[in-house]
């Protein structure tokens, strides 16, 4: 039962992040106004503030989220005690 919950805790966010990176990408980008967090991080990293860079930042953040959740769940499954 515990392993099933861990797999679901990995699967659901991963599917949502992949959908955000592919099918929902345009809608998510349109909902990010000029003063949003994406624009803040572009300025913080010294990256030119363009639509393309904003989209790349959001896709990169999604990929980083997928990676962190995957590693965390794998570690919990491998190192966790029952």
Q: For 1-44, how does the pLDDT look when each residue is reduced to its tens digit (9 = 90+)?
A: 778 888 888 899 889 888 888 887 778 777 777 778 888 889 99
Sequence-distant (≥ 6) Cβ neighbours of residue 51 within 8 angstroms: 29
Tell me the residue range of the domain where 78 lies.
52-82
Q: Is residue 22 situated within a structural domain?
A: no
The two three-digit tokens of residue 33, written as one number:
């106004």
Q: Is residue 79 situated within a structural domain?
A: yes
Q: Is residue 58 situated within a structural domain?
A: yes
pLDDT at 32: 75
Say whether 48 sits in a helix, a strand or coil: coil
Per-residue pLDDT of 51-74, as tens digits, reads: 888 888 888 888 898 999 899 888
Instruction: Tell me, yes or no, if the pTM score tops 0.75.
Output: no
Q: Is residue 63 situated within a structural domain?
A: yes
Number of domains in the chain: 1
Please give the sequence-ordered ranges of beta strands (E in DSSP) within the chain, or none if there are none: none
Q: Is residue 60 situated within a structural domain?
A: yes
Q: Is residue 75 situated within a structural domain?
A: yes
Q: Is residue 41 situated within a structural domain?
A: no
């Amino acid at each position: 039962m515990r392993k099933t919950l861990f797999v679901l805790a990995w699967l659901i966010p991963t599917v949502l992040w992949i959908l955000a990176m592919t099918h929902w990408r345009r809608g998510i980008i349109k909902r990010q106004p000029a003063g949003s967090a994406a624009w803040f991080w572009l300025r913080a990293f010294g990256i030119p503030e363009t639509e393309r860079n904003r989209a790349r930042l959001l896709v990169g953040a999604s990929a980083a989220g997928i990676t962190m959740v995957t590693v965390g769940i794998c570690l919990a499954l491998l190192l966790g005690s029952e």
